[in-house]
């Protein structure tokens, strides 16, 4: 297959598997999405979706969030991991949203990435899922799949994002990155990987992946 044929196969297969695409993180507005994505760092979406209702019952907007102490926030979000950093980030960004953005989540990468504990991936998720801007957030699943499918060199997530944006049409980025996340979880996980189940890698990436990196079978 040519690279374009591989790209087309990925798009067509994912559309067949995921004609409707659920949003992984429960939220009701840009602020609750921002907090949920922040909490998802090194934590499963399932766990985040268990914790956010507890947090949002007390504070689902920046004005109520700053009424809590960092320690109170930390205690609620502790099961998500990295709670010292995340609680300070949530408290700090809530203050900044109030002081600099009238309590609203900004709609630019620059403003989002200036918030405490908000990196490029978090900003990209908010830009795409909350505001509908074309974005291709690269998480561990997408980084792994792009490499297994021979669509990037696997050097780092920055390169993977550049390659994804170069290869896939901009108008499908927002749906495609979610489809890839679900596919990575269900068909091509990091652990317990079954190549016979992983139809995309088996079809377009298996030979070269295994030749170059047989450790992927471990």
Using left for φ > 0, alpha for ψ between -120 and 50, and beta otherwise, residue 169 falls in: beta
Question: CA distances (Å), 62 to each of 6, 27, 97, 98, 126, in order?
Answer: 44, 14, 7, 7, 16
Catalytic residue among 60, 86, 139, 163: 139
Catalytic residue among 60, 121, 163, 198: 121
Residue 114 and residue 101 in contact, taking contact as beta carbons nearer than 8 Å: no
Using left for φ > 0, alpha for ψ between -120 and 50, and beta otherwise, residue 151 falls in: alpha
Question: CA distances (Å), 104 to each of 40, 52, 100, 127, 162, in order?
Answer: 21, 19, 9, 13, 29
DSSP code, position 46: H
Catalytic-residue membership of 121: yes
Which residues are part of the catalytic machinery? Answer: 121, 139
């Amino acid at each position: 297959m040519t690279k374009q044929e591989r790209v087309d196969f990925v798009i067509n297969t994912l559309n067949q598997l995921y004609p409707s695409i659920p949003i992984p993180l429960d939220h009701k507005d840009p602020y609750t999405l921002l907090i949920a994505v922040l909490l998802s760092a090194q934590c499963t979406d399932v766990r985040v979706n268990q914790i956010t209702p507890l947090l949002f019952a007390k504070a689902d907007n920046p004005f109520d969030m700053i009424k809590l102490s960092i320690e109170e926030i930390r205690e609620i979000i502790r099961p998500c991991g990295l709670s010292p950093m995340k609680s300070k980030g949530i408290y700090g960004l809530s203050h900044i949203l109030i002081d600099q953005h009238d309590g609203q989540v900004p709609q630019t990468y620059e403003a989002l990435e200036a918030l405490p504990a908000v990196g490029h991936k978090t900003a990209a998720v908010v830009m795409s899922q909350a505001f509908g801007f074309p974005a291709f957030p690269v998480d561990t699943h997408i980084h792994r799949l792009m490499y297994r499918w021979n669509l990037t060199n696997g050097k780092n997530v920055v390169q993977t994002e550049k390659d994804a944006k170069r290869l896939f049409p901009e108008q499908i980025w927002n749906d495609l990155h979610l489809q890839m996340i679900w596919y990575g979880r269900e068909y091509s996980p990091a652990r317990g990987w079954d190549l016979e189940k992983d139809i995309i890698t088996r079809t377009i990436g298996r030979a070269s992946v295994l030749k170059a990196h047989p450790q992927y079978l471990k």
